[in-house]
Structure formats: C-alpha cells, structure tokens
Structure 1
Amino acid sequence: RVGAPATQQPGAMALAAGRRPADARALARITGTELRAIGVDQDYAPDSDVNVNPANPVIGVRSFGSDPGLVARMVTAQLGGYRSANVTATAKHFPGHGDADTDSHTSVPIIRHTRAQWESIDLPPFRAAIAAGADSIMTGHLVVPALDPSGDPATLSRPIVTGILRDRLHYQGLVITDALDMQGVRDKYGDDRVPVLALKAGVDVLLKPPAGKFATQLDAVVAAVRGGELTEDRIDRSVYRVLELKQRRGLFTDPYVDESRVGRVVGAPEHLATARRATDRTTTLVRNDPQPGGLTLPLKPGPRSVHVTGWGTSTTATLAAEIGRYGATADAHDTGLSPTPAAIASAAAAARAHDLTVVVTNRAWDTSTEKGHNGPGQADLVKALIDTGRPVVVVAVRDAYDINAFPAAPTYLATYSYTPDALRSAAATLFGANPPQGRLPVTIPVAGHPDQTLYPFGHGLRYPRG
C-alpha cells in the first residue's frame, strides 16, 4: 500500500501466474528492504488464503490462487524474502479466508468446509508457513463451524487459536488479530468484550481498535486482569513474544532509519527492473481465436487505429499510451465500473470507427444488481463491442474470472493488476514483444455453474514459435 516512488510490484495472484517462487522471494525482499528503509519493520503479508471461491468479495487477487500446493510454495518463498530483508512477515488469515462469500469488513463470513476439506484446502499454506518459521500469523474474522461450533469468529475462538494453532500445529510465534474495527469481529460481542475474548483465545497483538474505542478496549483489558478473567501471566506471555521478536529484528540496538538512504533504496533502479521482469512473466493469454479479418495475437506493430475503453480513467489512458509505442494511434474512453447504456452505446459507436478495440474489465463477473455490486454493465459493454463485428481484445486487470461473464469474447488476457508495469506488459504481449508466459493460478468456472470448468487451473496459451 506504499505508492510510488516505492517499487510497484505484481500482486500475489499475478506472481502465482508466473509460477516462479524465486520471483516471489525476490520481490518480497525488495518490499522488505524498502519498508525497512522508511522505518516499517512488519508487513501484514503474505496472504496465505486459498481462493477457491471465484465470488470471494474480499480476497480474490490477494491470494496466490486456488491450489493449496502452489499457494504454500509462494507463501514460503515470500516469507524467506521478507526475512532476508530483516522484516517481520505475517501469514494471514488463519484458519483460511479463501472460500468466503461475504466481506469480513462488513459482516461475518461463514466458511462451511468440513474438517477434511479444511485440512486439504486451507491448512497446507499455514502448515508450510509454520514449518518455514513464520514470525507472525494473523487471524481472520470468520466463523468455521467444523473447527468451532460456537459461532465465534476465529479471532475470538480458543479452540482455533490455542487448540489448533498453538497446541496442534505447535506454533510459538506472534499471533495478531485482523483489524478490530471490522464488522466481522464486532457482530456478536460489544467492543469492550472483543479484546478480552481475543486475548483469552490466545492472540498476542490487538490490531486497530474501532475509531474512538481505544480507551474503551484498553480499560476492558485492564479490568479483565484486575477482575481475574485474564491473568498477568497471560499478558506477560504475549508481551514476551512481542519483545523477543523486536530483539530478533534488532530494534533495541538499532531502532532508527538512516534518512539519507531512503532516496537510494526506495524505488532503486535495480528494484524497478526486477519488478518489470517478474511482471512480464505473469501476463496470461486465456483465449486467442480468429476475429474479423483473421486477426489474432500477436499484432504486427505499425499504423492502426485502436480504441481503448472500459474501466478506469488512468488505466485506459495508460494502456492507450503503451499501445501507441507500437505505431498505433490509440485513444481512451473510460466507461466506469458500471457502464450505463448510454456509455455502452458510445463505446460501440467508437469501436465501429476503429480498426481494433481493447476493452479493460475489472471484476466484470460481479453482475449482481444488488447494492455494493458492479452489476451487468461491464459484461454488456463487452458483448456490445463484440456485436459491432469489429475486432475486440479484452484485458482483465483484476480477477481472471471476468471471461465467464462474456465467454464469447474471442481474445482475452489476464494481468491480475493495473499497475503501470502490468499495463506495459499487456501492451507488449498484444504486439508480440512480450510473449505470454502466465498460467491461470485459479480455475475459471462457467457462470452460474461453479462445478463446471470454463478454463482449468494451469491454462495459458503461447504464441507459435517463429
């Protein structure tokens, strides 16, 4: 979440598409090095959730994917990278947020995995993280009835935090809550009970009390100790873990940053170059069928008119500029996250006047008309563009799942993010300067039929040699 000039990198799902743990480790080391340079010594990453629910509203591309083994490999690689930069990494969100269908910021997700499913899907990345010496693990505000039938979220669950994480998995590191201002941990109990129950469950660090509630929560913990609900020994064990971790990070002997180094470390040229190379390995070509006029990727550089439309003012403009580097004349028109019929009609009219349209989508699969959802506008936009009979290329800049909302799209790339480097890489892929190397780190289901596969895990097209 540190913006430029800090090095902007591919996210977790993008890195998983590249299938190179070495890239995950190198970029975690770069992130850690730059964080340390500005005085940040703990990062709440890597996300260790296995995103098996394409409609997950809160995890998505934050996860390395839907395969537990791949997620485990990438998580352990990033833990090593952060450690090499002397930064504390945090595996999250135990016991696993990957099959949520609601956002724990606004409500309480219920993970309905059986115990056997949890063992095979959610547990492996955390088990691997513990084996790799994870310094810190963050709990999730989610209910897992198979692990604790009480209905308490994991953050407040002694059977989960102490019974499973501490006793069964033998984890001795720091346990930190997800933010305590999230509704997922506030629904069942009042703000004065939440910190006490979290400490009784076995956590060590209470993160981000609700606005204006710090004193309330601190007083509640003090009262719990004075009243005997919590013991001083219990508090001391958590304090010891915090102090021991600070000692390992060298924060008692060298707590300050050297401000003169910040400009040389943050966004260093070698860091930017590493991020660019890693990004180029993530772009995934999902579909590349012949279009009107026989057009398929890669395109030949040279004069042509290109209309870049879809989501994001900055995103469409940046992509248009990158396409322009290959001899094309490209213009950009943002139609927003939920395009209106008028915006769709305008984009379709522009498409008829151009040789090619490139349309950017962002969570286009989220076609629900309920409040808080994107609605069908993006899918309708893509379909209208295809109906013009002019060549159309879709670039999904967040979730790879978008194509299930418009499966007839003949050409479809997934970038998993919309950083400038991701858009530069996408344009280079369109014109053959960066042959596609990514493979899907998730399964894309048929819309409305989650048990039917549209594109399988591991799918990714390549350009013909020569």
Structure 2
Amino acid sequence: MPSSRTALAAAVTLTAAAIGAVTIAPQPTSAANWVDAALDRLSLEQKVGQLFVATVWGKSATEAHPNNQARYGVATPAEVVSRYQLGGVIYFNNSSTDNVDNPAQLAAFSNGLQRAALGSAPHIPLVVAIDQEGGNVTRVESPATEYPSAMALGAGRSQEDARTAAAINGRELRAMGVNQNFAPVADVNSNPLNPVIGARSFAADPELAAQMVAAQVRGYQDGGRRTETVSSSAKHFPGHGDAATDSHTGLPRIDRSAEDWRAVDLPPFKAAVDAGIDSIMTAHIQFPSLDPSGVPATLSRPILTGLLRDELGYDGLIVTDALGMQGVREMFGDAEVPVLALEAGVDQLLMPPDLPLARDAVLAAVRSGRISEARIDESVRRILKQKWERGIITRPLVDVRRIGDHVGTPQNLAAVQALTDRTVTLLRDDADALPLSGNVLVAGVGDTVNPTRSPQALAAALGGTAMPTGTRPSETVIAQAEAAARDADAVVVLTNNLSVFTQQRTLLTRLIATGTPVVAVASQVPYDAGFVDAPTWLATYSWRGVSMKSLAKVLTGEVSPSGKLPVAVPDGADPTVIRYPYGHGLGR
C-alpha cells in the first residue's frame, strides 16, 4: 500500500497533468489513501468550500455576468470557483440562470470551471451537477438526446428500458463534463394533485417505483467505465410524493404515519441504497410522524441520521435540495439553515441563496465549537471519496472536439425513441377513432419556442393543421378552435394539468360538442383524463419531442400503444371514484 505521502504526490501529479491534458491515466493510488492525503492538506476554509455546490451565471468560465458580481463579488464563474474554493457547481437552463446553449458549449464551460478549480487552491476538481431527469425537467436539450419522463418509463414497465435511458443520459452528460445528475426521482406520487412531482415520479406503486429507481441507478453509475458515468442522486428523502404544497414556494406537511411511510415512501429509497447510489437528496417537507419537531426533513437529525444513516445503513453523500427554496427558509434564516443541515447529517449544501453568508456561518459554527472539525471532515471525506470513485480526480476534463461522437448520436436517439414508443398509454377509445385519417386539427398546449414539441410538429407528422391554444385559452381562442373543428375530420387536443387550468377543460368540452371526433392527449400528467369525459384518451406523460414522435406513431397506427398506467386516475370531481385504475391500458 502506498504511504499517505506517496498518495499526496500522486494527487499533485494528477492535478498538474489535468490542467493541460484531456485524458489522464489512473495512478496506482487507492481511494482511501488519496482521500486521506487530500484531506490532510486542506485548511478549514478549504474543507468548508468543498461542502458547497453553487449556482454560477454565464455560459463560459470567463464570461463576466452581473449576477456573479452581485452575489459573489467577482465577475466570472471561474472567479467564483477560485474565490470560494468550491466543491461543486450546478447548471441550469432557465430564464434566471441560463448556463446552457448546446453540448459543445457546455463541455467547454465544464473544462473552464475544472481548470479554475485545478489552477487554484485546493487544486481539487469539481462536482459538476445538473437536473437532467427527462420529461419536463430537462436542462440540456436537442441536439443532445432528450428523454421521456420517469412516469412514462413507469408506464413502459421495463426495467431494462429505464436502465438504458439512464445509461445513455449519464454517458452523454459525462461527455459534456457533467459528473453528477440529480436523478432519479424516488418519490412515489401517491397524491394525484401533487403540485411539484407528478410525472417526475415513476409510479404511485412503491414496488414499481423501487424497481425503476434501482434500474436507473445502475444505468447512471454502472453504464460504462467510471470516467464515462455520473453519480446519481435519489430524491427527495424521505418522500415528496404525498405533498399538497410546492416546496419551492412553501413548506409542505405530510401527515402520513410512520408505518405508512415505510410501506409507501421508503421502498424506492431503500432500493437506491441497495443499488449503491452515490448520493441522496433531501426534501424540504415536514413529516411529523418521523420527526415531531416539525423542522424540514433537510434539517432533521432523526430523519437524515436516524433513518437514512442508522436504519438504512447509508454511508454515501446526503445533499440538500436547493437552499434557496421557501420550504427550507420558512422557519430559519439563511445563516442558520446550512449549520442545521450539517448538524442533521447533510454533506453537500446545494445552492445557498447567500453563499458568503452560508460559508461564514459554517466557519463560525466550527470555530465556536458548535460543530466539530471532525464532523466537517466526515462530510468532506465522503465528497472526496465520490470524486475519486467516479473518476473525477483522474479525468476531470473532456474532449470538446469529440462531443458529436458521444452526444445525440443516431444510435442514442434511436434507442431512446424505441423505448419511448413503448410508453404511450391508450386509456379509452369508445369511438374507435384510432388510427386517424383525413384532415386532422391539432389544438391545445405546446411550446412556442421549440417546434419539436408543439402542435405544429404533431400536425406536420399527421399531415394536418395546427392551432396552438395554450394553457389558458381565451373565449375568442376557444370559439376559433370550435369553428376550425367543424371543418376537420378529427381533432387532437393536447392537455397539460387540467386540475389547475380550467380553461383547457372548457376548450376540450366544447370541441367534443362540435360532433367532430376528438382525441384527447394528456401530455404531462395522466390525471387530466379524470376531468373531461372525452371518448378517446391517450397519455404520453411528457411533451418532449421524443414523446410527440411516439404519439404521432400511435395516432397513425404505426405503433400500437402498449403503456400501462403507473398510477390510478381518479374522477376530477370525486377523487374517491377511480376512472382508470392502476395498470389500465387498452393497447397490446
């Protein structure tokens, strides 16, 4: 066994080589020895820096952005990494934090951030994280491969398909320099009105959800060599599936007994632990039967240490959900939250709303004796171990020139399209409307920015006419759709969340009343089928382009719908009545 000094020398050699090279040959140093050597040379400030995974603004490491200046006092993402000696960063593609243009740009961005980490103390590569779940939560879009939602995979019932989707996703992310994916969602969507999980969950059935979660963990983490795979993260422990409040905007309370929690919410997380998952993300929820104090699970020692660590025997990383979410800020201030999270058993602190404040609060807690440095070492050791075992230390950089060889390849696109074709679910076809023919009108929700997932794209595939009506169609728009429907041979209506957007219910009801055959498609949550009594209902669980292509194949008869409901669909007016039971599906 090499000595600690030898391990440290190897680590320094790797670091120096990484700054100027793309591929680094693994050195004959064990994880334990490298971790010990690396930890020994870190100052307290550097250890605390390793705990944080932060948001950065911009699309390259050297892009100056005013939000970096306002939040961190420096202009560029590279300077944020260097100044705060970060353990990790996370990418987004939303309007407030847009880091993503395309795969090649993201790969170059990742390399730039890694060079910033390697070129400054403590010379340790970053965790580069993302939420690339598939379906609605997709950060890197086409020309990268896009994926159906978790619930679509649950409808397909194939563990192999779930594993394949995760393996392709993981390899593509790693080629872009991303080494941590905050997926899969392990929540069991037991509440049909859940405002934040929905189709992000595989199923309402704990056993099916557990099977799919385990399959995806294997796909992400065992889908290739360790330098080609990503760490996965099951979320959101102890289970967000019965929430009636969005934890981004409030603090959900789940009044489920501990016995019911073990029967419903626990199985997917246990399956993830048994599959060797690298990390588990916490939930900002109150769960009084598990911790009567009422603090969010993210800050609960009985939940994170008592249940996850001690009972389940989990010794991987525990990462918080984003600390800027209202669910974790409602009871405590931004300085107290990270300290409480560490006391509860958390290792990684994700996206603090005020990073300087959070870092200083943790340092002050250690210096005052409230948190021991040994407790900090415990978390840093787990973080460093994951970086070693996932190959981040030996190969932090990626080859931007070869991005097209790995991302969005014809083979990957074909494989994911094939498995998505197996997810579309036919709930009802009383009018025997399928397959469609003639002049087809496609109305309903769509994406005005990306034409691959709009009514226009579906209409083009069907040789029909598109009439996007949006999530909140006005009376004028509804009347125009009625007039157009009377001149059509059939109408396809894409719906999205009829429990909230009642205007879509009105549109669908009035189109049915025209007498023209109507095919309703739940393009996000299948629960839409409980709100309007359409004669034909399909569920795609996703409005991504890959799902719309599968839908077009079903509508034209090219593919027989073979998905089975992974949830029960209750009546929208009386939830005690089940319109479409779990496992229902009229296809083959």
TM-score (norm 2): 0.74
The answer to whether the 8 Å contact 1:49/1:122 transfers is yes
Q: Aligned AA for 1:402? A: D
- Alignment partner of 2:397 out of 253, 256, 260: 256
1:383 pairs, out of 495, 505, 509, with 509
Seq. identity, %: 54
Partner of 1:410: 535
Q: How far did residue 147 of structure 1 move?
A: 0.2
Q: Does 1:67 align with 2:190?
A: no
Deviation at 1:451, TM superposition (A): 2.5
Contact 2:461 2:552 in 1 (8 A): yes
* Structure 2 residue aligned with 1:327: none
Q: 1:359 — aligned with what?
A: 493
The range that moved more, 90-99 or 76-85, is 76-85
Could you tell me how far apart the structure 2 residues matched to 1:192 and 1:165 are?
25
Residues in 1 aligned to 2:258 and 2:574: alpha-carbon distance in whole angstroms:
24
Q: Distance in 2 between matches of 1:233 and 1:177?
A: 20
Aligned match of 2:115: none
Aligned runs of 1:228-243 on 2, under 5 Å?
228-243=369-384
Aligned to 1:118: 261
One-letter amino acid matched to 2:426: L
- The alignment partner of 1:27 has SS state of helix
1:275 matches 2:455:
no
Pairwise CA distance, 1:263: 1.4
Secondary structure of residue in 1 paired with 2:361: helix
Find the counterpart in structure 2 of residue 182 from structure 1.
Answer: 325
Aligned length: 440
Is residue 432 of structure 2 the alignment partner of residue 298 of structure 1? no
Report the residue type matching 2:206 in the other structure: P
CA distance in 2, matches of 1:436, 1:253: 45
Instruction: Give SS of 1:450's match.
Output: coil
Q: Secondary structure at the match of 2:414?
A: helix
Cα-to-partner distance string for 1:378-417 (whole Å, 9 max, x where unaligned) = 00111000111111111111010101110x2000110011
Inter-partner Cα distance in structure 2 for 1:389 and 1:11: 33
Query: Are the counterparts in 2 of residues 365 and 403 from structure 1 also a CA contact under 8 Å?
Result: no
Aligned residue in 2 for 1:10: 148
Give 4+ residue runs of structure 1 displaced > 6 Å after superposition.
none
Report the equivalent of 1:431. Answer: 556
Aligned residue in 2 for 1:53? 191
Give the aligned partner of residue 154 of structure 1: 297
Distance 1:381 1:440 in 2: 25
1:399 paired residue number: 525
Query: How far apart are 1:15 and its partner, in Å?
Result: 0.6
Report what 2:359 is aligned to: 218
Residue identity in the other structure for 1:154: A
The two structures have a TM-score, normalised by structure 1, of 0.93
Match of 1:371 in 2: none
Of 159, 172, 175, which aligns to 1:21?
159
| Deviation at residue 305 of structure 1 after TM alignment | 1.2
Q: Deviations over 1:42-96 (max 9, x none)?
A: 1000000000111100000100010000000000000000112421000010000
1:422 aligns with 2:547: yes
Matched with 2:573 is 448
SS across alignment from 1:322: helix
> What stretches of structure 2 of length at least 5 have no aligned partner?
1-138, 224-228
Question: Which amino acid counterpart does residue 298 of structure 1 have in structure 2?
Answer: P
Q: Following TM superposition, by how much is the alpha carbon of 1:296 offset from its aligned partner in structure 2, in angstroms?
A: 2.4
Report if the CA contact (8 A) 1:322-1:423 is conserved: no
Cα distance in structure 2, aligned partners of 1:450 and 1:391: 27
Please give the alpha-carbon distance, in whole angstroms, between the structure 1 residues aligned to 2:556 and 2:288.
Answer: 50
* Deviation larger for 308-317 or 263-272: 308-317
Q: In the alignment, is residue 316 of structure 1 matched against residue 441 of structure 2?
A: no
8 Å Cα contact 1:365-1:404 kept in structure 2: no
